[in-house]
């Protein structure tokens, strides 16, 4: 047993754990009610993917780790779903790659921003950005435009999980390398990403960390070669074909 009363041997363990965490996130004022709907949509894609990390998603996670290790100023963007689902795992990834953590919300309120920052601190985060909001992403007229000047605004590589397409497009127009984690390969954010990881965030974040640890001793030249060889469209196509043609057992 872990943090809720379902045995790990249960065939739907991961999905039930995810639901439990999202529900708890809403109760704590971390996750928005829309976050429940987003989770439902994600789950449907995950079911069709076979609830596993497909090889193209694993390769994308490895490339993402290379980008994070090579970046001058990497930032992990956290919304209400991410904070509820993988708070400790985000902190571990930040530590493994030297990335900053920044809260950025679609449904932004001071109360939620503070609750999420507090939740991340409880899971070991030292510095959580996003509250200063002294920078603006050009071309966006909603709350997600508000970022920290020394955080996402200045970042060269940004991880944006479970994102709506608008900000993903605006960030890529700012010239940032965008790593998107999204179970829907057809979503605008996945389509605009330099590195789309079509996988459940529950699996993807620890997987990127594992790759980052393995890549610590790999030369810069090798990391760069891996990045150059990566084909984002190919990764999306392979996820889409798994969803459309994969067999459900
Ligand atoms: O906390 P806030 O206020 O910033 O709001 C966050 C949500 C998620 C509500 C907001 O960003 C939103 O409405 O997002 P969308 O447009 O529903 O997009 C969410 C995307 O994440 C969809 O493409 C889902 O398929 C995908 N998704 C949902 N759950 C997961 C997921 N991808 C990976 N892992 C998941 N567990």
pTM: 0.95
pLDDT of residue 1: 42
List, as one string, the DSSP characters of 125-144: -S-EESSS--EE-TT--SGG
User: What does the pLDDT average to over 111-136?
Assistant: 97
Among protein residues, the one whose CA lies closest to atom 7 of ligand 1: 35
To the nearest whole number, what is the mean pLDDT of the chain? 94
d(CA 19, CA 22): 5
Task: Give residue-wise pLDDT tens across range 140-192.
Answer: 888 889 999 999 999 999 999 998 788 888 998 999 999 999 999 999 999 99
pLDDT at 249 over 70: no
Largest pairwise CA distance in the chain: 50
pLDDT of residue 23: 95
- Cα(81) to ligand 1 centroid in Å equals 7
- Cα(189) to ligand 1 centroid in Å equals 10
**Which ligand 1 atom minimizes the distance to the CA of 107?**
3
Query: Is ligand 1 within 6 A of the CB of residue 83?
Result: no
Find the DSSP H helices in 54-128. 55-70, 80-85, 87-97, 110-122
What SS3 class is residue 165? helix
Query: Is ligand 1 within 6 A of the CB of residue 42?
Result: yes
pLDDT of residue 248: 66
Among protein residues, the one whose CA lies closest to atom 8 of ligand 1: 35
> Two tokens at 103?
């809260």
Query: Is ligand 1 within 6 A of the CB of residue 106?
Result: yes
Query: Is ligand 1 within 6 A of the CB of residue 200?
Result: yes
Contact (CB, 8 A) for 65 and 208 = yes
Least confident of 7-21, 70-84, 114-128, 200-214: 7-21
d(CA 211, CA 58): 9
| Sign of the Cα pseudo-torsion (70, 208, 158, 154, in order) | negative
Task: Give residue-wise pLDDT tens across range 40-59.
Answer: 999 999 999 999 999 999 99
pLDDT of residue 111: 96
């Amino acid at each position: 047993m872990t943090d809720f009363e379902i045995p790990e041997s249960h065939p739907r363990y991961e999905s039930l754990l995810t639901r439990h965490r999202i529900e708890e996130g809403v109760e704590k004022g971390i996750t928005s009610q829309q976050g429940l709907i987003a989770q439902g949509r994600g789950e449907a894609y995950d079911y069709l993917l076979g609830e596993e990390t497909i090889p193209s998603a694993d390769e994308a996670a490895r490339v993402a780790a290379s980008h994070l290790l090579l970046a001058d100023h990497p930032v992990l963007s956290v919304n209400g779903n991410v904070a509820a689902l993988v708070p400790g795992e985000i902190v571990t990834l930040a530590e493994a790659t030297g990335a900053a953590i920044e809260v950025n919300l679609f449904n932004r309120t001071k109360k939620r921003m503070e609750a999420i920052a507090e939740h991340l601190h409880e899971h070991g985060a030292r510095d959580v950005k996003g509250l200063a909001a002294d920078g603006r992403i050009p071309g966006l007229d909603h709350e997600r435009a508000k970022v920290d000047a020394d955080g996402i605004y200045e970042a060269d590589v940004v991880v944006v999980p479970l994102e709506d397409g608008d900000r993903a497009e605006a960030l890529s127009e700012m010239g940032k390398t965008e790593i998107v984690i999204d179970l829907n390969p057809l979503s605008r954010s996945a389509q605009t990403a330099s590195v789309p990881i079509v996988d459940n965030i529950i699996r993807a974040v620890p997987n990127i960390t594992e790759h980052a640890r393995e890549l610590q001793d790999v030369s810069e030249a090798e990391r760069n070669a891996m990045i150059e060889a990566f084909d984002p469209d190919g990764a999306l196509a392979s996820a889409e074909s798994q969803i459309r043609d994969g067999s459900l057992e």
